[in-house]
Amino acid sequence: MLLILLGTGFLNAQEIAVLKYSGGGDWYANPTALPNLIKFCNENINTRIASKPQSVEVGSTDIFQYPFVHMTGHGNVLFSESDVENLRNYLLSGGFLHIDDNYGMNQYIRKEIKKLFPEKELTELPANHPIFSTAYDFPNGLPKIHEHDALPPQAFGIFENERLILLFTYESDLGDGWESAPVHNNPEEVRQKALKMGANIIKYAFEN
C-alpha cells in the first residue's frame, strides 16, 4: 500500500498529482482546481497536502510517489502499452486515480480504461457507496456541478478486491466547481458542493 499521510501528526506534507497523458487532450485543464481543493481539504478534513500539485506522466515510475492522481480534459486520450502496464501496476499496488470528464472525454477514456482492465467493467456507484459520505454526506450520490448535456451526473468505478481504485465522474464536472470563482461564475453553494465532494474523494483515496 502506498504511504498515506492523513491527520495532524505529520511534519511533511503529502503530494498529489495531475496525470499528464498523450493523445491531444488538454490534461492541464482547470489549472486552479486542484490547488483550491487542496486548500479546502487542509482547512477542513485535517489533511497535510502540499499546496502545489505535481504533474506526472502515465508511464513514469514517479507516479508511485502519489497516493492520489487526478485526470481531466476535454478530448482524446491515448495510453501506450508501457503506459497501461505502469498505470495498472500503480493502481493494483494501492494507488488511486480520479478521472473527471471536463466534457468530451467520455468516448475516449472508456477505451483506455478497457486497455487497463480488460477483465473488469466500469460499474456505476450506488448513492450509498462510502465515497459519498466519508467526510460530507451526499445522500443522492454525485452532485451536478456544471451543465453540459442535461444528463444526470454519474460516478463509475473499477474495483480490486472490493476496493475502489479508479473513479470516473461523468456529467458532473467537479473540476469546474473546484476552480476559482471568477473562472466559471458558479454560485458559492455549487462550488462548496464540488469542494466537499472532492474532499470525500481525497479522504476515501487516502484511507482505503
- Residue 200's H or E segment, with its range, is helix 188-207
**Total number of domains constituting the chain:** 1
Q: How many residues are there in the chain? A: 208
5 found inside a domain: no
Q: Rounded distance, CA 199 to CA 38, Å?
A: 8
Q: For residue 11, tell me if it sits in a domain.
A: no
84 domain residue, yes or no: yes
Task: Please provide the average confidence, as pLDDT, over all residues in the chain.
Answer: 90
Flag whether 139 is in a domain: yes
pLDDT at position 2: 45
In the chain, pLDDT over 70 holds for what percent of residues?
Answer: 92
Residue 9, in any domain of the structure? no
Residue 3 lies in a domain: no
**pLDDT 10s digits, 110-127:** 999 999 999 999 999 999
Predicted confidence (pLDDT) at residue 42 exceeds the cutoff of 90: yes
pTM of the model: 0.91
Residue 188 falls within a domain, yes or no? yes
CA distance linking residue 86 with residue 77, whole number of Å = 16
Give the model confidence (pLDDT) of 124-154 as tens digits.
Answer: 999 999 999 999 999 999 999 976 677 899 9
Query: Does residue 180 or residue 98 have the better pLDDT?
Result: 98
Overall average pLDDT of the 67-87 stretch: 95
Residue with cell 499528464: 20
Cβ-in-10-Å burial (0-12, 13-18, 19+) of 74 comes to middle
Q: Given this model, what pLDDT does residue 8 score?
A: 31
DSSP H helices in 27-167: 33-44, 81-92, 106-116
What are the residues whose beta carbons fall under 8 Å from the beta carbon of 119, sequence distance 6 or more?
none
Q: What is the CATH number of the domain that holds 24?
A: 3.40.50.12140
Pairing type for strands 54-57 and 17-20 reads: parallel
What residue numbers bound the domain in which 89 lies?
17-207
Answer yes or no: is 100 within a domain. Answer: yes
Residue range 41-46: average pLDDT? 96
Predicted confidence band of residue 9 (pLDDT cuts 50, 70, 90):
very low
Does residue 208 register a pLDDT over 50?
yes
